[in-house]
Amino acid sequence: MKNPASRTPAIASADRSATAVPAVLAPETQSSPLGMDRRRFLQTGAAALAGGFALLRSGDSRATDAPKWGDYPDEFKGFQLPTQLQAKRVLEVFVLGGLCPWETFYASDDPAYGQKTGSQWWTFQQGADNIPTLAAQVPQCKGPALVDFAVDSLGHPVKFGILAEPLRSRTDIVGRMRLHVLSHGVYPHPFARPLAATGLSGGSPRLAGLGTAISHYQLEHSPGVIGAAAYVLTEGPTLLPGASRVGMHPVGARPLELRVDGNPSALFQTIVPEPAPVHQLSQAMGASFLARHTWPGKYGHVRSASLANLDSIDTQLGGLKELGLVLSPSDFVSPPGSSLYGAFAYDLTQTKLKLAAKILNNTAGAAKHVTVVDTGYSAGADFFGVQGYDFHTAYAKKAVDRYPMLWQRLCNIINSPGEFDPNKLDLADTLVVINSEFGRSPLPQDYQLGRNHHPNAYVTAMFGGPVGTKQKGIVGAIDANSLPVNPLTPAETRMATLVALGIYPFSKETFEFTDVPGAKTVQEALIKLNQVVLGVQA
């Protein structure tokens, strides 16, 4: 099966059609032990230096047949998703603090599922702070308490709870949603978040964000396209550091972090285009620098990871300047809003999601992946003194206040059937991933009416792109004792997202096929990622 066609370069490059690469330089097109693909540094000679960094970014058209990073090896091409099924872009919403499944995506009113013990869905159905009474006051929760969704791997019917009403009312979304039951044993936020974001533990040298791998692929396959391929929209880099980790990838593949905290002035000053004379000067200095590292009459400059990183960084900076032409200061201004408990100053959830849609819909750019780190609607602490969804106390009040608002904001940026708003995302070519570091406990925490961390059995979700109506359903199960049955790992959902984009998930920079539990061969691993995680036949 063929790989997707490369995107048209956004900038003109120097003529690269004149001279063939001598056979003696053929090994330069292969990957080095550091993972740097030297194909990008073979140029057409000293004359090409006038093009400076722009020529480097445009790549070498004579090496288009050489294997590139992220390509499926010939023996495994039959496992690659057909081009028409692949997603073109990915929006990932990371619910910071822990996505609770019991009143949202994995609800059950079966008495055997917690009625006697007051666990799972039954925990906050009665009492002073009960969810039915509180939800009745929220405009986004006008519907039945539970709505049928699908059966899990135990054959048990799973329902969507009232706190997922904005999503479940969109049949076009729920009709193609695939839930994944996940499990791991990491309880603290600082360790669980990188695991969820990368699929790897903190001690791994391969620890890198999913967007980093996607950026690496973009650098190899569409080097002429200016701009970052991956973005992280967050209030601060410490909230989800794993999302922008580089690991063993080229440093230029690092996702671009944009701070969205209600104050756009400081950020936007960094992305305005530089004056033309300054740009011309930097290009000339760059060309001069490369000339000093190129033997006279040779086709490529000296081998150097530092030079490769310099080129990658320049590529990203060029995209940063371009971003200043696409976005405006108003895009970073968060409007005020109101919730069940009063008015708040900044609707950061709305701002981040709208920004994500605008970045992904920018056809002139290279954006393929955007992570929205959602901490709730407000900057910093809210009415309860909490940031995100880490609800250890007053769970019912906080959950009713925040979950419906998040899902409504997400629905607002997705086109409905028959809607063709260019400012929204289309599920035909966009994969939406809902992720979190873990779930929340099935039993209340002590006597504080909260829910504790629960990585043992929780759910994440995918919909859009290759995950269509035939893929609707649940992978794995959570039983009546709140224990996982046939769960996935965070690594498997990370690998499957790469597969959905047509990217080969196994390399020294990303994952081993043994990171897929139970797989004894690469073929078995790819089959599981395709057929089980995504539910798609390659």
**pTM score of the predicted model:** 0.82
Which 3-state string (H, E, C) describes 324-350? HHHCCHHHHCCCCEEECCEEECCCHHH
pLDDT of residue 271: 45
Residues 457-505 have pLDDT tens digits of 999 999 999 999 999 999 999 999 999 999 999 999 999 999 999 999 9
Residues 157-211 have pLDDT tens digits of 999 999 999 999 999 999 999 999 999 999 999 999 999 999 998 889 999 999 9
Which 3-state string (H, E, C) describes 3-32? CCCCCCCCCCCCCCCCCCCCHHHHHHHCEC
> H helices within 448-530, ranges in order?
490-500, 522-527
For the chain, which residues make up each domain, given as ranges? 90-267+319-499
pLDDT of residue 497: 98
The alpha-carbon radius of gyration of the chain (Å, integer) is 24
pLDDT of residue 518: 96
pLDDT of residue 6: 36
pLDDT of residue 310: 62
pLDDT of residue 315: 55
Q: Scan for tokens 């001598």, then name that residue.
A: 22
**Closest by Cα among 319, 314, 298, 201 to 256:** 319
Tokens of 298: 């040779």
Question: What is the C-alpha to C-alpha distance for residues 253 and 315, in angstroms, rounded to an integer?
Answer: 10
pLDDT of residue 299: 55
pLDDT of residue 284: 77
Regions of the chain where pLDDT drops below 70: 1-65, 224, 226, 265-276, 278-279, 282-283, 286, 297-325, 379-385
**Cα atoms in the 13 Å half-sphere on the side-chain side of 411:** 20
CATH class of 90-267+319-499: alpha beta
